[in-house]
A = this chain, B = another copy of it.
Amino acid sequence: MTSHPHGKAGPADHARSVAEHLAAVTDLLARLAAESRAEVLPLTGALGRALVHGLLAPISLPPFDNSQMDGYAVRSVDISDGGADLRIMPPVPAGSSPQPLRPGTAAPIMTGAMIPAGADAVVPIEKAVPDHFRTEGSDGLVKLPATVPGTYVRTAGSDIAAGERAMAARTCLGPAQLGLLAALGMAEVEVYRAVTVLLVTTGDEVVQPGQPLPQGKIYDSNGTLLEAAMKQAGLNVRRTGISTDNPAELQALLRTAGHDVDLIVTTGGVSKGAYEVVRQAMADQPAEFLHVAMQPGGPQGIGLFDGVPFLGFPGNPVSCLVSFEMFLRPALSGLLGSPAARQPLRGRLAQPLESPGHKHQVRRGSLQRDGTVQLEGGEGSHLMHALAGSNCLVHVPVGVTELAAGDEVEVWML
């Protein structure tokens, strides 16, 4: 057992704020936003990635005036208040490039089809007499009511005009954003490369799921939890086996598996106990171990291991997920636009809670349809079953020591 250099692991001494640690993590990872890390991908390959550069619309949407209804394209001046009988012209299907519309005529037009030159409105088919398109040719007459210019016409550029900003740099590309790029005619897009993480769980007490469980030991849930969270966030994840509490073994493992990754994340071994393998393995590296004024997830490691950015998360699973959501996700989100930041929402507590006033407390909860938040489990960072029953993180800021049922809180949907 090593001696304890600082004596106390008290909660508040020298603790860094959540915002300060997020800034430090962002600084550590700033190199990931280099333009050299851009790549060009086909649209659907870019799902979940973020734009390197803002984009201007190369064309207008819609590209041309088109009909919002199946009906007749008309010149509104041709129809008096009492209506008018107009001669039926050849139809205008979607995709065609129609002839100009001559005075006194009406052209059957389908939804999305280009408005003929001269026409300025569309009369829906159900307001026409007869109220259906004719099969017998184009030489008949149709009676149509008076129509205000512009009726049922989607004008060119009414969604976005050519040259306008279509999307900002660092926009995260979901289905709607990719759909917009397609609508603008783009087949590929320049995005940031995915971030590759080496994920290492540590601890002599930790056993791989599927193996027998000796007395006093627990299964490794951190690895699965964080790998899944990182994959869901679009990161590439490399796993090693579980590291023992031997610092030399952990160093060897990081050197073997971590030479070409963007980031090393470890779990466990960062607090002020007697056996802290990550602290010990990082002893000769430019890395620091500190306490963030947050519960859970207070003990954190940050620095470089052989020049590779390193984050040391604590050993309990809830602390791991909270560390990921509070620091790694928002840092990447701010730098690269991907993964998308969690949307902060408001909820009303279903029950009271207490919180240490000098820490930012992160509880787990279920935001209900009616806006109330049911807390799941207590404060304990080992409560994996309660976490699995939650749909959100509940934030209790520094300075708040208790909240009553009905009080508003900020929540982040998971």
What B residues does A167 contact at CB under 8 A? 388
Most buried by B among A345, A371, A391: A345
What B residues does A387 contact at CB under 8 A? 176, 179-180
Determine whether the beta carbon of B216 is less than 8 Å from that of A114.
Answer: yes
A68 in the interface (beta carbon within 8 A): yes
What B residues does A290 contact at CB under 8 A? none
| Cβ-neighbour of A111 out of B108, B204, B273 (below 8 A) | B273
Q: 8 Å CB contacts to B: which residues of A103-144?
A: 108, 110-114, 125-126, 131-135
Q: How far is the CB of A159 from chain B (nearest CB, A)?
A: 5
Determine whether the beta carbon of B228 is less than 8 Å from that of A47.
Answer: yes
Given contact pairs A182-B209, A224-B44, A94 touches B203 in the complex (Cβ within 8 A): yes
What B residues does A231 contact at CB under 8 A? 44, 47
What B residues does A70 contact at CB under 8 A? 9, 271-274
For A, the interface residue count at a CB cutoff of 8 angstroms equals 120
Q: 8 Å CB contacts to B: which residues of A203-257?
A: 203-206, 208-211, 213-229, 231-232, 245
Given contact pairs A112-B205, A216-B96, A275-B93, A228 touches B385 in the complex (Cβ within 8 A): no
Copies in the complex: 2
Determine whether the beta carbon of A205 is less than 8 Å from that of B94.
Answer: yes
Determine whether the beta carbon of A9 is less than 8 Å from that of B91.
Answer: no
What B residues does A227 contact at CB under 8 A? 44
Most buried by B among A57, A209, A273: A273
| Cβ-neighbour of A224 out of B4, B125, B182 (below 8 A) | B182
Determine whether the beta carbon of A370 is less than 8 Å from that of B346.
Answer: yes
Shortest beta-carbon contacts, A-B, top 8: A95-B205, A187-B210, A179-B225, A183-B221, A4-B132, A182-B224, A175-B228, A175-B229
13 contacts between A and B (CB under 8 A): A7-B132, A8-B131, A44-B231, A48-B232, A95-B206, A95-B217, A95-B245, A175-B226, A178-B224, A178-B225, A179-B387, A182-B220, A345-B345
Known: A62-B382, A179-B388. 4 other contacts (CB 8 A): A8-B125, A43-B224, A94-B275, A179-B221
